[in-house]
Every structure is written in structure tokens, then in C-alpha cells.
């Protein structure tokens, strides 16, 4: 099992926007502004969490950091090229040390920010699934753990929207934040799911991925998708098991729904897919 660990040292600031083991969970408005929360938890393990939004592609980028660790190691999930400067400024202001820039899959609607981030911040490693067939510094597989400080994300294979889609789930354990959080990419959207009509998509696989890898998580697990087109920010496993209009159906009905979505191809697809196979830049790895 691959264990990705942060090893450098850096002294950092004390923060007040914390999501803790026993603390209050919260979300941030979709413009990416910050909403301070004071927690009363006595836990020593503290997760800093921010949900950030890119409006042209309606993409959510997530920032997570272990702020009880001396170096405050941080990672970004699904950064977008257009908002890299915003995200890096926030990371600097919060005194975090960015160690990973990771993707849930090869995006078809926007260019990932991972390559740009690597060219701007030395030492950052890009991550994507091995099954995606893409280039990155670290190619993760199901069951791997991506560690940042004393916290970690578990990798679950959730193919269907694309062949290489994964869901990152916060760790299960006494020192990990509760409730758990699942970063589902385009596999499970709030009251929806990713399309399955390109990039090796399969509605059968998507149905099976959601039911076996996401709906088996505790019902209070938060769902944080890669996109929302209607203004939602967060859901839970329990909520989607009850109200998702596609995934609550039987498999045959689901396949019929997916066949008849009649969505037009993403405007950026021809540019985004080839770029995202190499971290969003034509020469990303050598710039690290
Ligand atoms: N109009 C947008 C693309 C919208 C789209 O196709 N979204 C994808 C996720 S990005 S690969 C999707 O799976 N949508 C599912 C749905 O039910 O909307 C553009 O031109 O970029
Ligand atoms: Fe996608």
C-alpha cells in the first residue's frame, strides 16, 4: 500500500477556521469567501478545510490542511488553471505548506491547475490515479492513503464517469475528522452524477461505483463534488441515498436516464483532455 508522507519543516500561523474531530462542520459560500468558525473541540488533530469555486466551469476546488502539525501540510483537490493564483494566495495567507495538487480524474471541461502550481511552488507533487493513464508525479491506486501531517485521504476507485475516476475520503480512525468527507469528483454530484458518454464512461460502472464505494460509507459522510450547476455546496451520503433522482433508481432505469441526458460536449473538451493528460501543461513534470 502506497503511503504518501510529508517530511519538510516549516513554522506557521495559528488559524481560526478549523474543522476538527468533534467540531462543527461548515461550508464556505461558493464565491470562495471565508466564514470563520470557532470550535470547542478538545481534539488535537485539526483539519482546515475550504471549498473554493471557479465560475466558468462551475468547478469546486478543495483545500485541506493539517493545522495541528508544525508544518501545516496542505493539499488541493481539483485545482483549476484560472484560479491557481487565488488558491496560492490563500495558502500563503494561511501559512500553509502545499505538498500535493491532486485530481479526481482527467477533467473534460477545464484545464487542471496542477501543472501551473508545480511551476510556481517548488516541491509540490501532482497526483492522479494510475487508471487514468495520465502523467503525474504520483499515480495512486485503490486503497492507497495520501497523508498530510497526521491526517490522510483514502483512495477509492469509482469509475464510470471516466475509467480513472477516484473518490478521496477522509480517514477512518480515532484521530481523523468526523464526520468523514468524500470528494467524489464527477462520480456523484449533488442530486445528480457525472455523464457517462465519453472518456471510457460507463453507466453500469458508475452505478456500481456509487453503490459499492460511496453509499456504503456512513450516512453522515459529507459529499463534496467537483461541480455544481445549481448552487448546492455539500450533501451527505444519507441525503443522496434518499433523494438523488438518478442513483435511487434501479440499474436499468438509471441506464435509461443516462442514455437520454442529451448533454452537449463540454466547450473546452478538445483542449482540456489532452492538456490534463499531462497535468495541464505540455511539459509539467520537468518543471518541478
Ligand atoms: N456545459 C459544460 C459541461 C457540462 C457537463 O457536461 N458537465 C459534466 C461534468 S464536467 S466533465 C457532467 O458530467 N455533467 C452531468 C450533468 O448531469 O450535468 C461545459 O461546456 O463545460
Ligand atoms: Fe469530468
Mean pLDDT confidence for 30-53 = 60
Max CA pair span of the chain: 55
Q: How far is the CA of 263 from the centre of ligand 1 (A)?
A: 7
pLDDT of 5 over the 60 cut: no
Q: Which of 127, 145, 119 is nearest to 286 (CA)?
A: 119
Taking CA atoms only, the protein residue closest to ligand 1 atom 21 is 266
pLDDT tens readout for residues 122-148: 999 999 999 999 999 999 999 999 999
Q: How far is the CA of 275 from the centre of ligand 1 (A)?
A: 18
What pLDDT sits at residue 282?
66
| Rounded (10°) CA dihedral 3, 8, 12, 18 | 0
What pLDDT sits at residue 160?
98
What pLDDT sits at residue 10?
28
Which ligand does the CA of 59 lie closest to? 1
pLDDT band at 283 (very low <50, low <70, confident <90, very high): low
CA angle (241, 54, 156) in 5-degree steps: 40
Taking CA atoms only, the protein residue closest to ligand 1 atom 1 is 266
pLDDT tens readout for residues 46-95: 999 999 999 999 999 999 999 999 999 999 999 999 999 999 999 999 99
Q: Which of 38-42, 55-59, 185-189, 260-264 is predicted least confidently?
A: 38-42
* Helical (H) or strand (E) element with 241: helix 237-243
What pLDDT sits at residue 24?
35
What pLDDT sits at residue 14?
24
What pLDDT sits at residue 281?
87
Evaluate whether 61 touches 85 at the Cβ level (below 8 Å).
Answer: no
In whole angstroms, give the CA distance from residue 179 to residue 97: 25
- Whether the ipTM is more than 0.90: the answer is yes
pLDDT of 110 over the 60 cut: yes
Question: Which atom of ligand 1 is least distant from the CA of 263?
Answer: 6
Q: How far is the CA of 162 from the centre of ligand 2 (A)?
A: 7
What pLDDT sits at residue 44?
55
- Ligand 1 mutation pick, 227, 231, 268, max ligand atoms within 8 A of CB: 227
CB-based pocket (< 6 A), ligand 1: 57, 108-109, 186, 192, 194-195, 227, 261, 263, 266-268
Higher per-residue pLDDT: 285 or 77: 77
The predicted model scores a pTM of: 0.88
Which ligand does the CA of 110 lie closest to? 1
What pLDDT sits at residue 106?
98
Q: How far is the CA of 250 from the centre of ligand 2 (A)?
A: 23
- Ligand 1 mutation pick, 55, 229, 269, max ligand atoms within 8 A of CB: 229
Name the phi and psi angles at 116, rounded to 5.
-60, -40
Map out the domains of the chain with their CATH numbers.
3-268 (3.60.15.10)
Taking CA atoms only, the protein residue closest to ligand 1 atom 5 is 266
Which ligand does the CA of 158 lie closest to? 2
Evaluate whether 112 touches 79 at the Cβ level (below 8 Å).
Answer: yes
Taking CA atoms only, the protein residue closest to ligand 1 atom 13 is 194
pLDDT tens readout for residues 143-192: 999 999 999 999 999 999 999 999 999 999 999 999 999 999 999 999 99
* Helical (H) or strand (E) element with 97: strand 97-102
Q: How far is the CA of 109 from the centre of ligand 1 (A)?
A: 7
Q: How far is the CA of 230 from the centre of ligand 1 (A)?
A: 12
Q: How far is the CA of 108 from the centre of ligand 1 (A)?
A: 8
pLDDT band at 38 (very low <50, low <70, confident <90, very high): very low
Evaluate whether 113 touches 81 at the Cβ level (below 8 Å).
Answer: yes
Q: What share of the chain in percent tops pLDDT 70?
A: 82
Amino acid at each position: 500500500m502506497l503511503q504518501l508522507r510529508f517530511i519538510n519543516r516549516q513554522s506557521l500561523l495559528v488559524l481560526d477556521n478549523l474543522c476538527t474531530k468533534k467540531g462543527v462542520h461548515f461550508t464556505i459560500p461558493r464565491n470562495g469567501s471565508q466564514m470563520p468558525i470557532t470550535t470547542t473541540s478538545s481534539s488535537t488533530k485539526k483539519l482546515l478545510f475550504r471549498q473554493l469555486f471557479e465560475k466558468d466551469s462551475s468547478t469546486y476546488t478543495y483545500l485541506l490542511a493539517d493545522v495541528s502539525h508544525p508544518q501545516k501540510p496542505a493539499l488541493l483537490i481539483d485545482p483549476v488553471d484560472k484560479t491557481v493564483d487565488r488558491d496560492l494566495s490563500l495558502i500563503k495567507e494561511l501559512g500553509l505548506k502545499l505538498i500535493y495538487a491532486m485530481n479526481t480524474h482527467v477533467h473534460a471541461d477545464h484545464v487542471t491547475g496542477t501543472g501551473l502550481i508545480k511551476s510556481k511552488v517548488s516541491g509540490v507533487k501532482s497526483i492522479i490515479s494510475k487508471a487514468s493513464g495520465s502523467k503525474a508525479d504520483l499515480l495512486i491506486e485503490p486503497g492507497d492513503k495520501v497523508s498530510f501531517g497526521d491526517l490522510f485521504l483514502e483512495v477509492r476507485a469509482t469509475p464510470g464517469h471516466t475509467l480513472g475516476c477516484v473518490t478521496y475520503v477522509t480517514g477512518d480512525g480515532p484521530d481523523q475528522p468526523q464526520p468523514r468527507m468524500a470528494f467524489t469528483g464527477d462520480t456523484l454530484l449533488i442530486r445528480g452524477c457525472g455523464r457517462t458518454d465519453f472518456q471510457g464512461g460507463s453507466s453500469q460502472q458508475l452505478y456500481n461505483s456509487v453503490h459499492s464505494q460511496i453509499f456504503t460509507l456512513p450516512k453522515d459522510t459529507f459529499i463534496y463534488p467537483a461541480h455544481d450547476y445549481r448552487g448546492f455546496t455539500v450533501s451527505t451520503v444519507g441525503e443522496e441515498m434518499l433523494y438523488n433522482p438518478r442513483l435511487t433508481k434501479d440499474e436499468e432505469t438509471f441506464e435509461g436516464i443516462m442514455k437520454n441526458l442529451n448533454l452537449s460536449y463540454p466547450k473546452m473538451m478538445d483542449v482540456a483532455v489532452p492538456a490534463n493528460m499531462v497535468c495541464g501543461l505540455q511539459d509539467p513534470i520537468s518543471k518541478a
